[in-house]
Structure 1
Amino acid sequence: MTTPDLILHHYLASPFSEKIRRALGFKKLAWNSVLVPSISPKPDVVALTGGYRRTPVLQIGADIYCDTALICDVLEHVQPEPHLYPPALRGCCRVFAQWADTTLYGAAMTYNLQPRGLAQLFGGDAEVARAFKEDRKAMRVNMTQLRPADATSALRSYLRRIASMVEEHDFLFGAEPCVADFSTYHPLWFMRTQVPVMADLLAITPAIDEWMDRIAALGHGRMERLSAEDAITVAQRSEPAPAGDNLLVDSAFQDDHGIPLGTRVTVTPESFGAEVTEGELIAATRTHYSIRRTDPRAGTVHVHFPRIGYVLRAAPA
């Protein structure tokens, strides 16, 4: 199978982008890098997604893949080995990755983005820090935010538990990394590299530092820069893959909502980043939703979301 051209829309300090950059390095894949703003507005991203604005987004031609859980599935299909989901650990590593991407991430980032961390992240520029805080506050609609002290306590416990795993093995579940490693790594990478003033917490678990060094040694794959305008041109000049014939291997319709294919629908994240994407439902499988939409700049695109963590509704009449 010919490896498709992978375009990752990301920004350098984005933790979830680092998760995917390390997965690309693990699989030694070539990819195109489109740098996007860390806060709204993101007109070039929205031209492709129709509303979704979380980072990163993976583009392959006119197919747009949202959420790192789904992006990892795509990378596994593009290049099955080395495995992100080792056959003997497939369920275990998925469950652990989901915990790390939600519970661990929430505690770590609440701890990381306390005033000392924010000041270092933005070089003491109070106005930029304020804009970032307001942007993220708007994305946390209906979310319960941990208090910093509670996040710190939880994070200390999580670090000790993670350390006990990597004291026994090079990686969380054995001699090779899997998706659980990359999901666990990225909020701790943010602490260690973006807000090192907060990284003294890692001193209690030296085994984690050694494990992080092993993941960092995997690199980021082979990257070339691409402009946002060129990426949109790629979408505009491409035809999206037919539903059931893209890089998401399951295609059987699973109707849990009473919404038939062809219906105008909206897809919205359950929690963080509640922007709505609207389009025609062309797939609803056991793992993902796909919608077709047309944009004046990007043309007709298919936008794909994981089923877990996203809300499907019929669009208002």
Structure 2
Amino acid sequence: MADLILHHYKSSPFAEKIRRVLAFKQLAWQSVNVPPIAPKPDVEALTGGYRKTPILQIGADIYCDTALICDVLEHRQPTPSLSPASHKGLARVLAQWADTTLFTTAMAYNFQPQGRAQMFGKTPPGFAQAFADDRAKMVGSAPRIRVSDATTAYKSYLRRLATMLEDQPFLVGHAACLADFAAYAPLWFTRVNVSSLAGILEATPSVLVWMDRLAAFAQGEAGRLTSADAIAVAAATTPQALADEVFQDDHGIPLGSQVSIHAESFGLEATQGELVAATRMHTTLRRVDARAGTVHVHFPRIGYVLRAI
């Protein structure tokens, strides 16, 4: 049985990003369906508070944020690579732009009234409002983008992507990389989940052809687990030994301290635990849960706020 367990739900754009990466790398994985809105008690049993989708579980190690999940999958299966040899920095910077600026703009466009009507037309009464309230809590006080401004920016970003694809099949060259999957996710949401608004993509046909290339990677899902099954896997497993990497202390917080960590902007729920690693790439907290046992919860260094308790 595959030891990669992806906690996700069907319509999540960030989950689709990782599903495409798993397909690209031909990795088998177990699927755990999670609720799209809080409460998420089974997710929080593993993460301690973090509730954004998706999370990747390998035994008793829990990896949060798709940027870190991509690094984990790259380490697990180096080929085909997510990092083009001659443009590693460019691919990462472009992926970060796609995960933040492009994503925020596209979703502001996607959730205009017409998009909401399609997304929630067949959901139970009250779910649309519950979803809106849930996302408002996750965003906090961050400014909202008006639909008109989002539409203008989205069109411009699509044209820029089309320009990158003029002489090559993928954004950074002749092979798919991290940047492609990050940029694909919010556009996939437009095309699939709010198809009534997908006409915005038609002005850039090369972008649609590029999306088809990424969608063509065969899915590698190996099976399905319940959330209780996944928690039992964690409880029956010991976290992997931490790599012997240099401790990068940028906060004046020694290893062994009790800390909290949360996202800078979207998804402000904090995870608390013992700081057991802080490398140049990730931060790791050890925590104990009544159901999941001892777990290591891993976060990327970029985009997260670390504080001593």
TM-score, normalised by the number of residues in structure 1: 0.95
- In the alignment of these two chains, the number of paired residues is 308
- Secondary structure in structure 1 of the residue aligned to 2:298: strand
Tell me the CA shift for residue 227 of structure 1: 0.9
CA distance in 2, matches of 1:91, 1:170: 19
Residue 142 of structure 1: aligned partner: 141
Alignment-mate amino acid for residue 278 of structure 2? A
Residue matched to 1:284: 278
- CA-to-partner distance for each residue in 1:149-184, whole Å, 9 max, x for gaps? 111111010000001112221111111100100000
2:292 corresponds to: 298
Q: Which amino acid aligns with 1:211?
A: W
1:26·1:218 contact (CA, 8 Å) conserved in 2? yes
User: Quick check: 1:59 aligned with 2:57?
Assistant: yes
Q: For the Cα contact (< 8 Å) 1:56–1:68, is it kept in 2?
A: yes
Percent of aligned pairs with the same amino acid: 60
Q: State the match for 2:194 in structure 1.
A: 195
- How do residues 43-192 of structure 1 correspond to structure 2 at under 5 angstroms? 43-123=41-121, 125=123, 127-192=126-191
User: In the TM superposition, what is the alpha-carbon distance from 1:143 to its structure 2 partner?
Assistant: 1.2
For each residue in 1:284-313, what CA deviation from the matched residue of structure 2 results, as whole angstroms up to 9, or x when unmatched?
Answer: 111110000000000000000000000000
Q: In the alignment, residue 99 of structure 1 is paired with which amino acid?
A: W
**1:263 is aligned to 2:262:** no
**How many angstroms apart in 2 are the aligned matches of 1:109 and 1:167?**
26
CA contact (8 A) 2:280 2:301 kept: yes
- C-alpha contact (below 8 Å) 1:171/1:177 kept by paired residues: yes
Aligned counterpart in structure 1 of residue 301 of structure 2, from 289, 303, 307? 307
Asked if the contact 1:23–1:182 (Cα under 8 Å) also holds between the matched residues in 2, the reply is yes
1:272-294 per-position Cα deviation (integer Å, ceiling 9, x unaligned): 01001000000011111000000
Looking at structure 1, the residues matched to 42 and 122 of structure 2 have their Cα atoms a distance apart, in angstroms, of 28
Question: 1:27 corresponds to which residue?
Answer: 25
Q: Larger deviation: 69-78 or 161-170?
A: 161-170
Structure 1 residue 223, shift from structure 2 partner: 3.0
Instruction: Structure 1: give runs of 5+ residues left out of the alignment.
Output: 246-250
1:37-48 counterparts in 2 under 5 A? 37-48=35-46
Task: Measure, in 1, the Cα distance between the counterparts of 2:246 and 2:33.
Answer: 35
Matched position secondary structure for 2:87: helix
Q: Secondary structure at 1:87's aligned position in 2?
A: coil
Q: Which 10-residue stretch deviates more, 126-135 or 113-122?
A: 126-135
